Amino acid sequence: MVCYRHTGLTNHGRKHMRITLVGSRHFGVTTFNTLRQHGVDIVRVVVHDGEDRLAATGRAAGIEVVVQADPKHVVASEIAPNTDLIVTAHSHARVDRDALAASKLGGIGYHPSLLPRHRGIAAVEWTIKEGDPIAGGTVYHLADRMDAGAIAAQEWVFVKKGETARELWERALAPLGQKLLADVIYHAKAHGSLPATPQDEEFATKAPSLSDAKH
Read off the pLDDT of residues 169-210 as tens digits, 9 standing for 90 and up: 999 999 999 999 999 999 999 999 999 999 999 999 999 998
Percent residues over pLDDT 90 in the chain: 87
The alpha-carbon radius of gyration of the chain (Å, integer) is: 16
For residue 39, the model assigns a pLDDT of: 84
Cα–Cα distance list, 45 to 51, 57, 81, 179, 194 (Å)? 13, 9, 12, 20, 21
- Answer whether the bond into residue 116 is a cis peptide, omega within 30°: yes
What is the average per-residue pLDDT within 45-53?
97
Q: Which residue would you say has higher pLDDT here, 46 or 3? A: 46
pLDDT at residue 96 greater than cutoff 60: yes
pLDDT mean across residues, the chain:
92
pTM of the model: 0.90
Distance CA 70, CA 52 (A): 15
Contacts of residue 165, defined as CB under 8 A and 6 or more positions apart, other chains included, come to 124, 125, 127, 128
Domains of the chain: 17-104 (3.40.50.170), 110-209 (3.40.50.170)
Q: Residue 70: how many CB atoms within 10 A of its CB? A: 12
- Torsion sign (Cα): 50, 55, 59, 64: negative
